[in-house]
A and B are shown apart, each in its own frame.
Chain A
Amino acid sequence: GAGVSQSPSNKVTEKGKDVELRCDPISGHTALYWYRQSLGQGLEFLIYFQGNSAPDKSGLPSDRFSAERTGGSVSTLTIQRTQQEDSAVYLCASSLRGRYEQYFGPGTRLTVT
């Protein structure tokens, strides 16, 4: 079946602009996660959605970052007033309810100039 999809695959934006990154999880997966990975670094957890529960936003680095998940499926990560330090690969993952293993999408490479 189809895996996790993310769009766009690459995004170049100017400092100060807002960007939206999209994630479409595997069909039937109730949990959705966003991570950030800077060049040569590990995965940085950003936010976690599980079904209709309130999201775990404990990893969001500032109030410029927000995410929503509509209809329990597609999620959008929004970064307002982008800064150069926001340049990274943004990865989305999903998992089945009651399962911990996460399946990752291909990521969106964000470059802020």
Chain B
Amino acid sequence: QKEVEQNSGPLSVPEGAIASLNCTYSDRGSQSFFWYRQYSGKSPELIMFIYSNGDKEDGRFTAQLNKASQYVSLLIRDSQPSDSATYLCAPEGLTGGGNKLTFGTGTQLKVEL
């Protein structure tokens, strides 16, 4: 089982719709979860983090966390073409020499006009 699993997509949604991006993780000890956005040809950019079970909202973005199910998701409301990118899920965990982020391979989102 991969440490972090994401559907690679592409996930296509029409402009204005809600995009739902999902991630499961294997380390039950993970306490902090991060979402990064990566535009094609660019480096990853931090957009959201969540520590507690439930929802956390920031503008059009909502992160949802369910530690019992080892599941974290990112909702993007009123999707715009500028949201088209790859979204990386990154839980914190004890790996190798210390606690650090483990990145999923990402879900490609395409927002269509």
Contacts and interface: CB of A to CB of B under 8 A. Distances in A.
Partners in one complex: yes
B25 interface: no
A104 B43 contact: yes
B85 to A, nearest CB: 14
Interface in A20-44: 31, 33, 35, 41-43
Interface string B81-113: 000000010001001111111111110000000
Interface residues of B, number: 22
Interface size bucket, A side? 20 to 34
- Counting chain A CB atoms within 10 Å of each CB, the highest count among B42, B92, B100, B103 belongs to B100
B73 interface: no
Nearest to B92: A100
Interface stretch (A53-61, A68-76, A79-87): A53-61
A42 B104 contact: yes
A54 B32 contact: no
A33 B43 contact: no
B102 to A, nearest CB: 8
Contacts of A31: 100
A100 B96 contact: no
Nearest to B96: A58
Contacts of B105: 41-42
Given A53-B97, A100-B101, 4 more contacts: A42-B106, A48-B96, A50-B97, A105-B43
8 contacts: A43-B88, A56-B100, A91-B43, A100-B32, A100-B34, A100-B101, A105-B43, A107-B43
Closest A-B pairs by Cβ, 3 of them: A56-B97, A42-B105, A58-B96
